[in-house]
Structure 1
Amino acid sequence: MSREEAYAHWSRLHGGLDPRTSFWVSGWVRLSHACARPLARRGVRPDTVTVTAVLVTAVAAGLAALGDGWPLPALVVLVGAAVLDGVDGALAAQTGAASRWGSVLDPLADRVADLLALLALVALAGFAGLAVALGVAAGLLTLLLESVRSTAQVAGMTGPGAVTVWERPSRVIVASFGFLACGIAWAARRSGVDLLPAVDQPALATTALVVAVALGAAGLVRLLVAVRRALPR
């Protein structure tokens, strides 16, 4: 599959959006297809990659939940899972193995991965009452956003409706920065640096959850407005 064919395939899956208008999106499409090529040659099925991405995310969440310095390797594993998340679609396009089951499995796997990342942040916050409430709120907002989008598409809306501030990449980024901040805080204290004594791993993880809730709420409102405009009255 050529680069232009890869762009066209991504555009068809995302409501006609042109990935070439964004440096990051176009780079992501190229990276996904480059990683998919060796798998396609070996006959790996897209569904296998989808399930593997969820399992790798679970490993990342488990590592992060250990606290101390573990969020740093968890960050690396989470980024690997995010790459796999894009590879399954590229693999399906290259091998012609796209299926109706795959179209169900892929979003299901994404939602499980989203919730696992939030659970890891709650664990880093020590399962404190506020962190649990924020984690539940962020999870519900994520599921509501995706539910509204899929229901609107069934009702006749074409494409994603709106690209909000709380899409899959944003969820990975928030979790990644949460892991990174917690890891850096631990490493700094191990080195004898304690610039902000009150800012420990639980505080940083809770802050990441606050950001997740804020972006989730903003994303849901933005999507609802777009859906209302897109669907006939």
Structure 2
Amino acid sequence: MPPYLSREEYFTAWSQWHGGTDPRSSPVVRGWLTLAHTLARPLAGLSPLVVTLVGLLVAAAAVGPAAAGGAWLLLAGALVGASGLLDSLDGALAIAGGRASRRGFVLDSAVDRLTEVAYAAAFWVAGAPGWLAVVFGALCWFPDYLRARAGQAGVEETGAISVWERPARVAVAGMSLVGAGVASVVGLHGLVVVLGAAAGAVLGAVGSIQLAVQLRRALG
């Protein structure tokens, strides 16, 4: 097995796999990846593919407790957070462990989009209007779609980190559901869910605009 990369080496390798985006430029992303790198070290022998699939199952499992409502929303939020952590863990295992591949990168990206469908579904069954849940989910997808299309158009550096990267999406979904679980004691869980989904939609719109402006410059 190749030697496990140091944190700085991991950041550099992560950047190479993500269109030149430097994770050090965002305290949130840097902290998120640092946590994943630290947790992955003692698990270096674990298959990244297994962690990827478990993360997808955990995200899907959040929909049931979200539909149950009440205190179950706390569990839904915790499962969303766990799925996000597993998503970062599989990347750390692959990249820092020297096992990253193009096939794994594409699979991980596809699973990320499926987990975001689960987050949107959790919002919906927890009480958010269907249209708002769809907007939230679409704006989770859109920035990565822009980056992928820009990469196909020959842009090597696919944009700096925006306000709406994976850690932010996981945090908004997870914290909103946990907050709704707490607010269910006084019957305000529906309001918290709607506000959480709306906040995610706003951040998604802002992040998409940030990225579109950056990519427009790169595309000339």
User: Fold match, TM over 0.5?
Assistant: yes
- Decide whether aligned partners of structure 1 residues 17 and 100 sit closer, same or farther in structure 2, where only a CA change above 3 A counts: closer
Report how many aligned residue pairs link the two structures: 216
Taking the TM superposition and a 5 Å limit, the aligned residue runs for 1:26-105 are: 26-41=30-45, 44-105=46-107
Q: Which residue number in structure 2 is paired with residue 192 of structure 1?
A: none
Q: Which one of 107, 112, 132 corresponds to residue 110 of structure 1?
A: 112
- Decide whether aligned partners of structure 1 residues 23 and 164 sit closer, same or farther in structure 2, where only a CA change above 3 A counts: closer
Q: Which one of 188, 210, 228 corresponds to residue 198 of structure 2?
A: 210
Structure number with the bigger relative contact order (C-alpha 8 A, sep ≥ 6) is 2
Letter in 1 for 2:73: P
1:92-124 deviation digits (Å, cap 9, x = unpaired): 124322222111111111111111111101111
1:5-26 deviation digits (Å, cap 9, x = unpaired): 2232223234444444544433
Q: Runs of 5+ in structure 1 lacking a partner? A: 190-198
Q: Which residue number in structure 2 is paired with residue 219 of structure 1?
A: 207
Please report how far the alpha carbon of residue 132 of structure 1 lies from its aligned counterpart in structure 2 after TM superposition: 0.3
Percentage of matched positions with identical amino acids: 40
1:102-159 deviation digits (Å, cap 9, x = unpaired): 111111111111111111011111x6xxx10111122223323221110001112123
TM-score normalised by the chain length of structure 2 = 0.88
Please report how far the alpha carbon of residue 201 of structure 1 lies from its aligned counterpart in structure 2 after TM superposition: 1.7
Q: Which residue number in structure 1 is paired with residue 161 of structure 2?
A: 163
Q: Which residue number in structure 2 is paired with residue 12 of structure 1?
A: 16
Q: Which residue number in structure 2 is paired with residue 175 of structure 1?
A: 173
Matched, 1:134 2:132: yes
SS in structure 2 of the partner of residue 63 of structure 1: helix
User: Matched residues in 1 for 2:144 and 2:15: separation?
Assistant: 19
TM-score normalised by the chain length of structure 1 = 0.84
75-84 vs 3-12, which deviates more? 3-12
SS in structure 1 of the partner of residue 44 of structure 2: helix
Q: Runs of 5+ in structure 2 lacking a partner? A: none
